[in-house]
Structure 1
Amino acid sequence: MSPKVVGQAVGVFAVTNVDDILVLALFFARGAGLSGATGAVVIGQYLGFLATLAVAVAAAFGVTFLPAGFIPYLGLLPIALGLRAAVEAWRHRGDDGDITRPGGPRTLEVAAVTLANGGDNIGVYVPVFATAGPGGTSVYAVVFLVLVAAWLAAGRHLATRPAVARALARSGDVVLPVVLIGIGLLILIDGA
Structure 2
Amino acid sequence: MNVTSLLQAAGLFIVTNIDDIIVLSLFFARGAGQGGTTARIVAGQYLGFGGILLASVAVTFGAGLFLPDTAIPYFGLIPLLLGLYAGWRVWRDGDDDDDEVPDKSVSVLLVAAVTCANGGDNIGVYVPVFLTVGTAAVMAYCIVFLALVVVLVLAARFVATRKPVAAMLERWEHILFPLVLVVLGLVILVEGGAFGL
The TM-score, its normalising length taken from structure 1, stands at 0.95
Q: 1:175 is matched with which residue?
A: 176
Post-superposition offset of 1:67: 1.9
Q: Deviations over 1:159-190 (max 9, x none)?
A: 11111111001111111111111111111111
Aligned-partner residue type, residue 142 of structure 2: A
Q: Distance in 2 between matches of 1:137 and 1:167?
A: 40
Q: 1:61 is matched with which residue?
A: 61
Q: 1:143 is matched with which residue?
A: 144
Of residues 83-92 and 165-174 in structure 1, the stretch that sits farther from structure 2 once superposed is 83-92
Aligned residues: 191
Q: 1:191 is matched with which residue?
A: 192
Cα pair distance change 1:50/1:75, threshold 3 Å: same
Q: 2:124 is matched with which residue?
A: 123
Identity %: 51
Q: Answer yes or no: is the 8 Å Cα contact 1:31–1:100 preserved in 2.
A: no
Q: Distance in 1 between matches of 2:100 and 2:28?
A: 10
Q: Distance in 2 between matches of 1:98 and 1:133?
A: 53
Q: Deviations over 1:54-89 (max 9, x none)?
A: 001111111122122111111000001101111222
Q: Distance in 2 between matches of 1:99 and 1:40?
A: 20
Q: 1:33 is matched with which residue?
A: 33
The TM-score, its normalising length taken from structure 2, stands at 0.92
Cα pair distance change 1:83/1:164, threshold 3 Å: same
Gaps of 5+ in 1: none
The alignment's C-alpha RMSD in Å is 1.4
Q: Distance in 2 between matches of 1:15 and 1:94?
A: 36
Q: 2:158 is matched with which residue?
A: 157
Q: Distance in 1 between matches of 2:98 and 2:124?
A: 38
